[in-house]
Structure 1
Amino acid sequence: MQKRFLFILCFVTLLVLTLVVIYLLTPDEKGDTKKVLPSTQPIELTFWRNRGNETENKAFEDLISSFEKIHTGIKIKMKTIPYSDYEVRLRTEIATGTPPDIMAIDSPTLALYANAGSLLSLDSFMREEGEVGDFPPSTVNGLSYNNEIYIVPIVESSIALFYNKHLLKEAGVPYPSPNPNEPLTWDEVIEIAEKVKNTKKGIFGLDPGQGFGDGEAPAYFKLPFLWQFGANVLSPDAKTASGYLDSENAIEALQLFQDFYHNNGVATMELPPNSFVNGKLAMAILGSWSLKDFEGQTNFTLGEDFGVAPLPKGSFQVAPNGGWALGISSQSNSPKEAWMFIKYVTSYEGMKKYVTITGDLPSRYSVIKDIPELNQYPLNIFSEQLLRHSQNRPVTPIYPVVSNAIRVLFEDIGLGGKDVRSSANEAVAKINAGLMEFNKP
């Protein structure tokens, strides 16, 4: 009797379970299949970046939206922070153990974060899935510390010579060649600037490096002077500045820069506002992003009012690269999901979508190749320089010391007119002191 009862109980239980499964899998009136398992909470990833312009913000919002549609189990919570506050806020969160999962890192400061153990190495991810060969070697060098890749870029950057066509025409000066591989020499630029400048009318010949200011711009715009004459800031092993920043090649480059202001007199320390647009400055070294800025100037247009030529050269043709890229916190609880997001936004499709919205210079060969405008004047100048003639700033944990020393050095010789060699020696001493402090046991 007991066996019969157990048999009936098992049969009834099995029947009930079968009916439940059939009910759950039966389409409802809308044709949707009922889900057997309850929905789980998506993984939420925090993403911090410095607040950009409207087009940059829109590009990231679009990429996040499209990523979340593909990866329904992942949500990206983006937070934008003003540029001036970003580094301090980020380092504070890292120090308190609450960093974002994904963070934007300015590539020159990469080593500072990687050396402190704050960034997860992305080397294996990039080698296996990131198509690292699609990035220029100089770009990859700027993403790496101790031979491991830590951050991945969406866009790159470059600078070039912008010239006011009206001022050059009035002075009877031919326009520079638009060919990316035919840059003027700095001597030729000085010759043009001397012909164009007119002190009575307040017209200046040249702004060689974005004037003098704070932040990272001084190092970005002025380090190419050193590279173009075969000089560097640090030794290849990044252990000393002695024999590099104070080398004869460096002195030659620094003297050229000082001569712009104190010998040739083609540059001035205080330019009037909007001097290039207002016809008071004949030539200026500006970034690739400036083309987008000028689009809003209805009375100052490319071709009609201004032109673009390759960055002038010294002994070598060299332009700077590097910018903001994405990394993953070493404290993230979801590194694989964070990589999925970075892989998506820095992929061919993600990068192409981003630069189509922003007009920025993409960092992948394949994206540059497949956007016609990047292979035509004037954007081909920036593309060609990036692919063939670019160099990244020094990768060192004491980069903030290096950047500050370079800023002060160019201020001393430009604004202050101080002796070039002694100023270089002072910069070397500052950098070496930073290296010694860092290397203390």
Structure 2
Amino acid sequence: MKKWFTIFAVILMGILVYALSFFDTFSGSGQKEKGDTVKDSEQIQLTFWRNGGNVAENKAYEELVASFEAANPNILVNMKSIPYSDYEIRLRTELAAGNPPDILTIDSPTLGLYANTGSLLSIDPFMRKEGKIDDIPDSTLKGLSYKGQIYLAPIVESSIALYYNRHLLKAAGIPDPPTNPNNPLTWDEVLEIAKKVNNPAKGVIGIDPAQGFNDGESPAYFKTPLLWQFGANVLSPDGTTASSFLDSKEAIDALRFYQNLYHKYGVASIEIPGGAFEEGKLAMTVLGSWTLTDLEKNHPEFKLGEDFGVTPLPKGKYQFVPNGGWALGITSKSKHPQEAWKFIKYVTGYQGVKKYVTITGDIPARYSVAKDFPELNEYPKNIFVQQSQKYSKNRPVTPAYPVVSDAIRRLFEDVGIGGKDVKVAAKEAVEKINTGLKEIK
């Protein structure tokens, strides 16, 4: 009897297990066990293109994609990292061919070029409803907007400051400059310091005011703030002309001051040897927030506080620093805009930005994240953070920005390298930009 009871119990248990599994299968109420995966046919696949970054940036994105996919098993993000030098060309080619990715990164100054052609989806409704834009500085949002619509979401910001060699300043009897982000030196004060430390006989250069003379976007990023600080702008508020702005009295004053550093006072040099700052041959130089990590990694013998210091970017009549960087957007041809936004919301939200900043050490675009990192609220990183939040300004958002950027580069080369009459150089830059604006129309 006991034997039959046992057999009956086993059969009954089997029927019960089968019934439960049958109910789960067809009712849809069953939950997936650990280790279960969503079938390929059930997954939404997003393509994500971004510019190739350094090791830390690549790692940050890889971890963000992995954690997003773990939290959203029905969405697969196919991320492609493209070298910086090839990125713009490949992206524009695919956009023109009608085969763009769902999500992409864009260097914010070039936003107007993509938004004007209809290549980007406005994420304004998403950002205003779910993007917590009160947590992002207005100056940052302005640089991510075109014609009143937000098109990009930021992860991190950027800023620049004046780095100085402590030994060279001390030898000239000059105390360390201020560290308060709200109390920078004026350019006139910096000029006086540069005169005292400049020593051609020993090969010592007083200052590199704006990262020398490079190609690409660097000249516009580092040099445009000087125009703002003297009260000038590159374009009119409506972005239709450079006339009476880039050639205004304020712009001429800024350009003449810059030119005088090279040709009148001789405290700046057109050619600066590599490693001049670290080797004690350059007293002051304007560098980015990212340089702190580079110096620590590549020049550990050149120590912050001992060998060099950081002071806020000097001001003219006004205090301004540049902002802008790579931000995320959705292409207008994406078949999955809701899912694409879900990914962007995750990456650029509090947790995503915090993870990214933890890995890269960059300046977060969100106030809330900056507050949570003690080192970002202490010298010297607090200088970059507070400048970014309080005194930053975006480069012009215009479809003609590539022309604007090139015109700025050539303008500063003409007055800095060539010593060209500043009024003539400014007039030529204005004509070039206005021609570009007309061609866009």
**Counterparts of 1:301 and 1:373, CA distance in 2:** 17
Could you list the per-position Cα deviations for residues 352-403 of structure 1 after superposition, in whole angstroms to 9, with x for gaps in the alignment?
1100110000001111112111111001101111111110000100000000
From 374, 377, 380, the equivalent of 1:378 is: 380
Q: Give the 3 Å change call, closer, same or farther, for CA 397–68 of structure 1 in structure 2.
A: same
**Counterparts of 2:262 and 2:317, CA distance in 1:** 21
What is residue 84 of structure 2 aligned with on the other side? 83
TM-score normalised by length of structure 1: 0.92
The 5-angstrom pairing of residues 39-78 of structure 1 reads 40-78=41-79
What is residue 13 of structure 1 aligned with on the other side? none
Q: Give the 3 Å change call, closer, same or farther, for CA 25–278 of structure 1 in structure 2.
A: farther
Could you list the per-position Cα deviations for residues 175-201 of structure 1 after superposition, in whole angstroms to 9, with x for gaps in the alignment?
101111111111111111111111111
Q: Give the 3 Å change call, closer, same or farther, for CA 357–275 of structure 1 in structure 2.
A: same
| 2:237 is the alignment partner of 1:236 | yes
| 2:191 is the alignment partner of 1:193 | no
What is residue 141 of structure 2 aligned with on the other side? 140
What is residue 9 of structure 1 aligned with on the other side? none
Q: State the SS of the aligned residue for 1:355.
A: helix
Q: In the alignment, is the contact (CA less than 8 A) between 1:405 and 1:427 conserved in 2?
A: yes
Q: In the alignment, is the contact (CA less than 8 A) between 1:228 and 1:315 conserved in 2?
A: yes
Q: State the SS of the aligned residue for 2:270.
A: coil
Deviation, 1:67, is: 0.4
What is residue 258 of structure 2 aligned with on the other side? 257
Which amino acid is the alignment partner of residue 139 of structure 2?
S
**Counterparts of 2:255 and 2:33, CA distance in 1:** 71
TM-score normalised by length of structure 2: 0.92
**Counterparts of 1:119 and 1:95, CA distance in 2:** 12
Deviation, 1:24, is: 3.5
Q: Give the 3 Å change call, closer, same or farther, for CA 39–300 of structure 1 in structure 2.
A: closer
From 406, 428, 435, the equivalent of 1:426 is: 428
**Counterparts of 2:439 and 2:71, CA distance in 1:** 48
**Counterparts of 1:352 and 1:226, CA distance in 2:** 34
Could you list the per-position Cα deviations for residues 280-326 of structure 1 after superposition, in whole angstroms to 9, with x for gaps in the alignment?
00000000000010112121011111000000000011101011100
Which amino acid is the alignment partner of residue 228 of structure 2?
W
What is residue 317 of structure 2 aligned with on the other side? 315
Q: State the SS of the aligned residue for 1:295.
A: helix
| 2:113 is the alignment partner of 1:112 | yes
From 331, 334, 337, the equivalent of 1:332 is: 334
What is residue 7 of structure 2 aligned with on the other side? none
Q: In the alignment, is the contact (CA less than 8 A) between 1:234 and 1:244 conserved in 2?
A: yes
Which amino acid is the alignment partner of residue 24 of structure 1?
F
Q: In the alignment, is the contact (CA less than 8 A) between 1:135 and 1:365 conserved in 2?
A: yes
Q: State the SS of the aligned residue for 2:81.
A: strand
From 393, 396, 408, the equivalent of 1:394 is: 396
**Counterparts of 1:247 and 1:153, CA distance in 2:** 33
Structure 1 segments (4+ residues) deviating >2 Å: 18-27, 31-35, 37-41
**Counterparts of 1:116 and 1:435, CA distance in 2:** 14
Q: For structure 1, which runs of at least 5 residues remain unmatched after alignment?
A: 1-17
Could you list the per-position Cα deviations for residues 197-228 of structure 1 after superposition, in whole angstroms to 9, with x for gaps in the alignment?
11111110100000001100000000000000
What is residue 28 of structure 2 aligned with on the other side? none
RMSD of aligned Cα (Å): 1.9
Which amino acid is the alignment partner of residue 71 of structure 1?
N
Q: In the alignment, is the contact (CA less than 8 A) between 1:193 and 1:266 conserved in 2?
A: yes
What percent identity do the matched residue pairs reach?
Answer: 63
Deviation, 1:331, is: 0.6
**Counterparts of 1:153 and 1:209, CA distance in 2:** 25
Query: Please, which moves more after superposition, 165-174 or 402-411?
Result: 165-174
Could you list the per-position Cα deviations for residues 256-302 of structure 1 after superposition, in whole angstroms to 9, with x for gaps in the alignment?
11011001110000001111011100000000000010112121011
Deviation, 1:79, is: 0.8
Q: For structure 2, which runs of at least 5 residues remain unmatched after alignment?
A: 1-15, 26-31
Which amino acid is the alignment partner of residue 337 of structure 1?
E
Q: In the alignment, is the contact (CA less than 8 A) between 1:24 and 1:33 conserved in 2?
A: no
